[in-house]
């Protein structure tokens, strides 16, 4: 690291911290410009039936298409956007893009009951959210059960009655609620009884440890996944495993009763034009097989 001394020889700034501050400021200004200049777009990753590998729906994942830096994943963006509150605007842009593109995908033959799962930040849970969702669904003529609202523990943590009311309204309206990154937080299980949950998404760290960690840890995590799966089914929830990368993981998860899988084994997140051409090609293939 560069060494920078103060006037009287004392180290005033830690250059590493200075770099971090600069980088953060740059991300913040990129986000501001990006919102105004429409750099944000949703990419789509299939969520497949673990038995057949057929996509039942897609998760919308935020990307920022920076004209100079290229496509940026949410990693560095989300935390800055959360701190500044800009995540609410970004979230709404991604939601709108996801709905518009779900409408396009739905027009393909046989795709009229596919769904989109959208990630929501705690800051999006304001009282106007249910009406906004209803408005968008109405605009695109999409049935509410074809929108999955993905939330993490961060949304539920403070047991805020206002957030509970909003979630109940959304659920009552007919949208599905998915608990994302399940099992990594503090009280995942208790959220299942206190909030209206339809889908449990088992965090990719569990999936990875199935085949990465030999012996005790691997086999204990296997028991945890089996347990989560059994409890979820008892509570009438469907279970999705995240981050499935190998056929071996898929086979194990299938034996454990997992319903759906998402991961690079099936597909990376794709931009909408790629997704549409992949789906169209697949359908042509199916038609030629049938004839
Ligand atoms: P998430 O919702 O748990 O999304 C799954 C993440 O796992 C995605 O990362 C996806 O690209 C990645 N992934 C999928 N399959 C595999 C796999 O087989 N192996 C590995 N290693 N990774 C896989 P991504 O797109 O970078 O998103 C990261 C996180 O950022 C998301 O985690 C979500 O928490 C957040 N995020 C993404 N889009 C949005 C958004 O529109 N709004 C909000 N509030 N958060 C978002
Ligand atoms: Mg998610
Ligand atoms: Mg997740
Ligand atoms: Mg995650």
Global ipTM: 0.98
Q: Report residues near ion ligand 3: CB below 5 Å.
A: 180-181, 242
Q: 274 C-alpha vs ligand 4 centroid, how far in Å?
A: 23
183 Cβ below 6 A of ligand 1: no
Q: 181 C-alpha vs ligand 4 centroid, how far in Å?
A: 5
**Distance between CA 281 and CA 284 in Å, rounded?**
5
Note the pLDDT of residue 261: 98
78 Cβ below 6 A of ligand 1: yes
243 Cβ below 6 A of ligand 1: yes
202 Cβ below 6 A of ligand 1: no
**Could you tell me which of 206, 114, 102, 122 has the C-alpha nearest to residue 164?**
122
Note the pLDDT of residue 66: 96
**For the CA of 121, the nearest atom of ligand 1:** 44
DSSP symbols for 82-107: HHHSTHHHHHHHHHHHHHHHHHHHHT
Handedness of CA 173, 189, 157, 221 (dihedral sign): negative
Report the predicted TM-score, pTM, of the whole model to 2 decimal places: 0.93
**Could you tell me which of 201, 202, 206, 234 has the C-alpha nearest to residue 220?**
206
CB 148 within 8 Å of CB 178: yes
**Distance between CA 63 and CA 40 in Å, rounded?**
6
231 Cβ below 6 A of ligand 1: no
121 Cβ below 6 A of ligand 1: yes
Q: What is the pLDDT along the chain (291 residues), one digit of tens a residue?
A: 444 554 555 566 788 888 888 999 999 999 999 999 999 999 999 999 999 999 999 999 999 999 999 999 999 899 999 999 999 999 999 999 999 999 999 999 989 999 999 999 999 999 999 999 999 999 999 999 999 999 998 888 877 899 999 999 999 999 999 999 998 887 788 889 889 999 999 999 999 998 887 677 778 889 999 999 999 999 999 999 999 999 999 999 999 999 999 999 999 999 999 999 999 998 888 888 887
């Amino acid at each position: 690291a560069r060494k920078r001394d103060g006037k009287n020889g004392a180290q005033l700034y830690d250059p590493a911290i200075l770099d971090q501050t600069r980088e953060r400021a740059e991300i913040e200004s990129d986000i501001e410009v990006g919102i105004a200049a429409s750099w944000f777009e949703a990419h789509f990753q299939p969520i497949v039936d673990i038995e057949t590998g057929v996509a039942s729906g897609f998760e919308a994942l935020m990307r920022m298409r920076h004209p100079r830096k290229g496509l940026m994943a949410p990693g560095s963006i989300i935390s800055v956007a959360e701190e500044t509150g800009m995540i609410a605007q970004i979230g709404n842009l991604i939601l709108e893009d996801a709905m518009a593109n779900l409408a396009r995908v739905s027009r393909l033959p046989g795709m009229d009951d596919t769904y989109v799962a959208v990630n929501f930040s705690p800051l999006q849970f304001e009282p106007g959210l249910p009406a906004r969702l209803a408005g968008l669904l109405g605009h695109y003529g999409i049935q509410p059960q074809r929108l999955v609202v993905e939330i993490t523990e961060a949304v539920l943590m403070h047991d805020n009655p206002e957030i509970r009311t909003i979630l109940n309204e959304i659920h009552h309206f007919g949208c599905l609620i998915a608990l994302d990154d399940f099992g990594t937080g503090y009280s995942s299980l208790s959220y299942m009884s206190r909030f209206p949950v339809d889908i449990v998404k088992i965090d990719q760290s569990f999936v990875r440890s199935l085949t990465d960690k030999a012996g005790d840890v691997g086999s204990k995590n296997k028991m945890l996944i089996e347990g989560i799966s059994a409890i979820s089914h008892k509570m009438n929830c469907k279970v999705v495993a995240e981050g499935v990368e190998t056929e071996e993981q898929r086979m194990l998860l299938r034996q454990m009763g997992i319903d759906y899988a998402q991961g690079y084994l099936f597909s990376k997140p794709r931009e909408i034009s790629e997704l549409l051409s992949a789906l169209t090609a697949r359908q042509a293939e199916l038609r030629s097989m049938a004839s």
